[in-house]
Structure 1
Amino acid sequence: MSVDTQQASAPLTDDELRTLDAHWRAANYLSVGQIYLMANPLLTEPLRPEHVKPRLLGHWGTSPGLNLVHTHLNRVIKARGQDALCIWGPGHGGPAVLANAWLEGSYSETYPDVSRDAAGMERLFRQFSFPGGVPSHVAPETPGSIHEGGELGYSLSHAYGAALDNPDVLAAAQLLRTHLPELTVRVVNVVDIARLLPAEEHPHGMSDFEYDGLFTPDKPVIFAYHGYPWLIHRLAYRRTGHKNLHVRGYKEIGTTTTPFDMVVRNDLDRYRLVMDVIDRVPGLAVRAAAVRQQMEDARLRHHEWIRVHGTDLPEVADWSWDG
């Protein structure tokens, strides 16, 4: 156990508790200020009606809870050097996410005019749910945002993808390197699906030059997406290489089973992805027929194994990336 891990798991000191409480209270004030105030952000003068927004939009009730989680996540991330992706269920908890982004400095890095001072705080407050400002939810303009939903279901789908996406994609690329070493494979990790849109349609979008540079205009693309496949097609339908895009995604197939079997049932597993590559790269269908059969056999072994042991194959459960 590292020193940092020991420190992170030890009881908090009184000074640490005071610091966390101060951070939480600051985030709470920034959240409620965005909902209600359009002027006088530090209450340096008695509050008057003209300081309050004429139209209020934003969920205060969910903000303190989000701020508490965000405060402690920051502590853990700093103490352990944790690489984390925050997934927030309440879409209208936007005030809390914006408050913490501004409090930690990342918001001002993206938007220097919303500076970390009284003037910047007033702009942060005034722009929230205000004409010409920002929406009440975690919109694409929010630094670090990869998707806005507003319902818990969207959040769960992202959590599922974050946990299960990379391992099988990377494992498929290892498998291809082992069985088809002459094949050139590029792995593109898409963490923000809005990047698939044209630049003129979304602030996160890519130009055709950038998109073709990543996905090429004429090569087969196997897209493993832990969501509905049609969404990727809708986002990329105007791209030059759209006809070469094959998306594997959620088919609403599932039951009480093992984690890997959920992936297999929806044809998102590493073996299925390798088979897709063989099926879609010109010339591989015949030349790599034996490899494709090995992948099919691995899926059959998987089905037999889980029905006997109730757990995933050791080669799946114990797999780790050594790249």
Structure 2
Amino acid sequence: METNNCVEVALSEGTPLSTELLGKLDAYWRAANYLSVGQLYLRDNPLLKEPLKLQHVKNMLLGHWGTTPGQNFIYTHLNRIIKQYSLDMIYISGPGHGGPAVVAGTYLEGTYSEVYPAITRDEEGLKKLFTQFSYPGGISSHASPQTPGSMHEGGELGYSLSHAFGAVLDNPALIAACIVGDGEAETGPLATAWHSNKFINPLTDGTVLPILHLNGYKISNPTVLARIPHEELEQLFRGYGYNPIFVEGSDPDYMHQRMAAALDYAVDRIKQIKYDAGQNPDGPRPHWPMIILRSPKGWTGPKIVDGKQIEGTFRSHQIPLSVSASAPKEHLQQLEDWMKSYKPEELFDKNGCLIPELVELAPKGNSRMGANPVTNGGLLLRDLRMPEFRNYAVNVQSHGVEGEGDVHVTGRFLRDVISLNPDNFRIFGPDETVSNRLEEVFEVTNRQWNAATQQNDEFLAPAGRVMEMLSEHQCEGWLEGYLLSGRHGVFNCYEAFIHIIDSMFNQHAKWLKMTNEIPWRRKISSLNLLLTSTVWRQDHNGFTHQDPGFIDHVINKKAEIVRVYLAPDANCLLSIMDHCLRSRHYVNVIVAGKHPSPQWLNMDEAIDHCSRGIGIWDWASNDQDVEPDLVMACSGDVPTLETLAAVKILREHLPELKIRVVNVVDLLKLERQSEHPHGLSDSDFDALFTKNKPIIFAFHGYPWLIHRLTYNRTNNNNIHVRGYKEEGTITTAFDMTVLNDMDRFHLVMDAIDRLPQTGTKGTYLKQALEDKLIEHKEYICINGEDMPEIRNWTWS
């Protein structure tokens, strides 16, 4: 590990930039800053060929300046080292609303005009480039999906570093330069993401080069990391396992030389680490370089406006200078002076084209950060090699045979997906792969781990296909980075705690929606979320581990993006998982149980049922020749069990009733066809659920979601839903259903209440079931387990 003294000596040895190159880099930086200010302010007169007038300025000034000049500075210097060292590098902009910098950088290197031919590299193109920024019908103020080279939007802070680490997995030559804003660094996900360096294998993975941009302020407050002493900051990042390199100041010439030296040193260290790992794969965990860049917020912008300091303060965060008819008149002149301070006449020719000697500073072809195919992952996407999922089928010779756990069965399938795709597929999860019954994957792989190990550790190795860290944020961020860069994966998680990544899922779904509308973006593999350890099977964890509401959140997103599947048994789960791993550009939420449970369908039946997504289980129904008196519907493994147990009671005690059993595996089949591509037409919905018969619906999640999905159906008033209603404790599996009125006894009583024709027989049966509930409660309190008739129940 290099000491900081060694770093200081290395940086102080000479000046890496010649006078000529320094001048060119500074000019390139000025060009990027000029383009950035133009995006914030102008809609005409892009080269200031005439005195600036109000009609040249946008009526609404929107955007963020504070982080932009620092990011332009970084982008300029990264271009140099890409060319000098022939690097494969991507740029991830973490600070919120740093869009002007990324747009400017990709425009100067030429990728922006290649993607958007109307934004030409001349005066007319500059006018369009400026006008579109934060303008109706234009582009947003952060590095949005419309920006070439962007695979991280940054609209919400905290995920840049985990995306960067996800992108470099299985990309050994890639360097992800991740710019971390000091405000962003205060978020929980980002603060945790620094530990991702313990999971990188220098032989098989690429490198993340974090560049912490300390410009001192958020919107109106100072940032924590900018206000702690230098020694404390250095100790913090050395404690995280990095080799920090400081670049601090405001004088451009000094900062250019310092940044160039820092990047040269960083590249040298990265190459040395890679070489050492090849020579000694079992060597100590490397301390990767990082750069801490301290520069003024709003660097090179207005110094003083209306008597108040702007550069170097929070006042430069957004629009540092108001220019409008109602603003002070001198502001217009200040804007013109500011833009002219970059000397555009030295940067662009009379036609608005960047002068040739500056054009030459940018890398060429796919070496340009805006053109790197990693940032448009669908260009690199390879289909998974898939095992035949039918080979893992549970042998269901009769409906309701006991199984070993649906997720456990699927673990064997995922084990072989890993074997067939050793550099293209990973499993992510917060320390739950074994707990969630996927342990058979460890027959062929390990957890990737590059920190210390001890004798009793299991399944830890520098290389592995399972990524586990007890942070849902990091697992989700790593997986998103892995998918966005063109690979495949699954995130397994306890159902109750997937809510931790609600907002991350939200942002990813928005990215998928937006990229669907951008022709040059290619589809990526789907985000597959396997939720288990579900609400209905938390015998020892209790109320804290009970929340099935993530699916409610998911369904708020655009219909063309989200899918929700609730597997009733293992063969259905195998069919669902195979389908989801092959899919593109969706968020697939798969809910399945890990505990032993009945198996209902053989593989052929499961494939047919999952292909339809919803259907009548004729073997459980007795209405084949007549209109049913009652529809018993279910979605989810435990609701399916309780529904079939209720049907068995009804058919035994009220055999004259005609009952139809409908199982829903694709939840969005319940929506109208006009609302979701999987939705049923009204006629198909009515054919399944009837137009006027009572429907008792046992649902895995919160009952109101079913009402929401079916609110405009003909028979909506007759749908009675039982599901989770925030009742739970440390109790038996069956008692969880009783506490939420979704058990077989309550379902039968609900049916009787809606079937007056059951008469006296129904009245007596209802009373007997009420007695049975009392017996159940007494039994579990004495014995600590469910009654034998519950534990040993079978369908046959």
TM-score of the two chains, using structure 1 as the length reference: 0.61
Within the candidate set 733, 751, 757, 1:259 is matched to 733
Structure 1 spans left out of the alignment, 5+ residues = 1-27, 34-45, 58-66, 102-126
Q: Distance in 1 between matches of 2:792 and 2:731?
A: 18
Partner of 1:114: none
Which residue, out of 230, 233, 250, partners 2:704? 230
Q: Which residue of 2 aligns with 1:130?
A: 515
* TM superposition shift of 1:297: 1.3
Would the aligned equivalents of 1:197 and 1:205 in 2 still touch at CA under 8 Å?
yes
Give the Å deviation of 1:81: 2.1
1:36-57 C-alpha deviation (Å, 9 max, x unpaired): xxxxxxxxxx953324366789
3-state secondary structure, aligned to 1:224: strand
Matches within 5 A, 1:141-180: 143-144=579-580, 162-180=636-654
Indicate the SS of the match to 2:745.
helix
Pair 1:226–1:54, CA change in 2 (3 A): closer
Residue number among 259, 283, 294 corresponding to 2:757 in the alignment: 283
State the 4+ residue runs in structure 1 displaced beyond 6 angstroms.
Answer: 85-92, 158-161
2:562 alignment counterpart? 140
Closer/same/farther in 2, CA of residues 304 and 141 from structure 1, 3 Å limit: closer
Q: Kindly provide the amino acid, as one letter, of the partner of residue 717 in structure 2.
A: K
| Alignment root-mean-square deviation, CA | 4.2
| Distance in 2 between residues matched to 1:236 and 1:128, nearest whole Å | 24
Say whether the 8 Å CA contact 2:693–2:718 is kept in structure 1: yes
- The alpha-carbon deviation at position 167 of structure 1 amounts to 1.3
In 2, Cα distance between the equivalents of 1:206 and 1:47?
A: 45
How far does residue 321 in structure 1 lie from its aligned partner after superposition?
A: 2.1
How far apart, CA to CA, are the structure 2 residues paired with 1:234 and 1:128?
23
Deviation at 1:280, TM superposition (A): 0.8
Alignment partner of 2:661: what SS? coil
The AA in structure 2 aligned to 1:130 is: T
Aligned ranges for residues 27-176 of structure 1 at < 5 Å?
A: 47-49=366-368, 50-52=371-373, 80-82=392-394, 84=406, 93=479, 130-132=515-517, 133=523, 137-138=527-528, 139-140=561-562, 143-144=579-580, 162-176=636-650
In the other structure, the counterpart of 1:247 is 721
CA separation in 2, counterparts of 1:52 and 1:211? Answer: 44
2:522 corresponds to 1:203: no
Q: For residues 788 and 660 of structure 2, what CA distance do their matches in structure 1 show?
A: 27
Give the Å deviation of 1:162: 4.1
Name the CA shift for 1:128/1:137 in 2 (closer, same or farther; >3 Å): farther
The letter of the residue matching 2:367 is R
Among 666, 672, 675, the residue aligned to 1:192 = 666
* CA displacement at 1:131 relative to structure 2: 3.8
Q: Do the aligned partners of residues 29 and 315 (structure 1) sit closer, same or farther apart at CA in structure 2, a change above 3 Å counting?
A: same
Shift of residue 300 of structure 1? 1.1
Would you say 1:309 and 2:783 are equivalent positions?
Answer: yes
Q: Which has the higher helix share?
A: 1
User: What secondary structure sits across from 1:273 in the alignment?
Assistant: helix
Separation in 2, partners of 1:261, 1:140:
32
**Range with bigger deviation, 89-98 or 231-240:** 89-98
SS in 1 for 2:697: strand
- CA distance in structure 2 between the aligned counterparts of 1:287 and 1:320, rounded to whole angstroms: 24
Query: Which of the numbers 742, 752, 756 marks the counterpart of 1:268?
Result: 742
Shift of 1:193: 1.5
Question: 1:6-58: CA deviations, max 9, x gaps?
Answer: xxxxxxxxxxxxxxxxxxxxxx869xx9xxxxxxxxxxxx953324366789x
Deviations 1:190-242 (A, max 9, x none): 11221110001101100001100100010000000121111110110000000
Q: What secondary structure does 2:721 align onto?
A: strand
What residue is the counterpart of 2:600 in the other structure? none
Which blocks of at least 5 consecutive residues in structure 2 are unaligned?
1-168, 175-364, 379-383, 396-405, 412-427, 430-474, 490-511, 518-522, 529-560, 565-578, 596-634
Range moving further from structure 2, 86-95 or 277-286: 86-95
Aligned-partner Cα distance in 2 for 1:128–1:148: 11
- Between the aligned partners of 1:186 and 1:197, the Cα distance in structure 2 is 20
Distance 1:131 1:214, change over 3 A: closer
Describe the shift of the 1:196–1:141 C-alpha distance in structure 2 as closer, same or farther (beyond 3 A).
closer
User: Aligned pairs, how many?
Assistant: 238
Q: Distance in 2 between matches of 1:238 and 1:159?
A: 35
The CA distance in 2 between the partners of 1:268 and 1:223, in whole Å, is: 9
SS at match of 1:189: strand
SS in structure 1 opposite 2:731?
Answer: coil
Classify 1:91/1:269 alpha carbon distance in 2 versus 1 (closer, same or farther; 3 Å).
farther
Indicate how the Cα distance of structure 1 residues 282 and 148 shifts in structure 2: closer, same or farther if over 3 A, else same.
farther
CA distance in 2, matches of 1:237, 1:202: 14
Q: More displaced, 168-177 or 136-145?
A: 136-145
CA contact (8 A) 2:377 2:483 kept: no
Query: Do the aligned partners of residues 259 and 209 (structure 1) sit closer, same or farther apart at CA in structure 2, a change above 3 Å counting?
Result: same
Relative to the length of structure 2, the TM-score reads 0.27
Whole-Å Cα distance in 1 between the matches of residues 525 and 674 of structure 2?
20
C-alpha separation between the residues in 2 aligned to 1:78 and 1:304? Answer: 44
Q: Percent identity?
A: 38
CA deviation after TM superposition for structure 1 residue 130, in Å? 2.6
Distance 1:170 1:183 in 2: 15
Shift of 1:320: 1.9
Q: Secondary structure at the match of 1:246?
A: strand
Aligned AA (2:686): D
Name whichever structure is richer in strand by fraction: 2
SS at match of 2:685: helix
Q: 1:81 to 1:287 in 2, by over 3 A?
A: closer
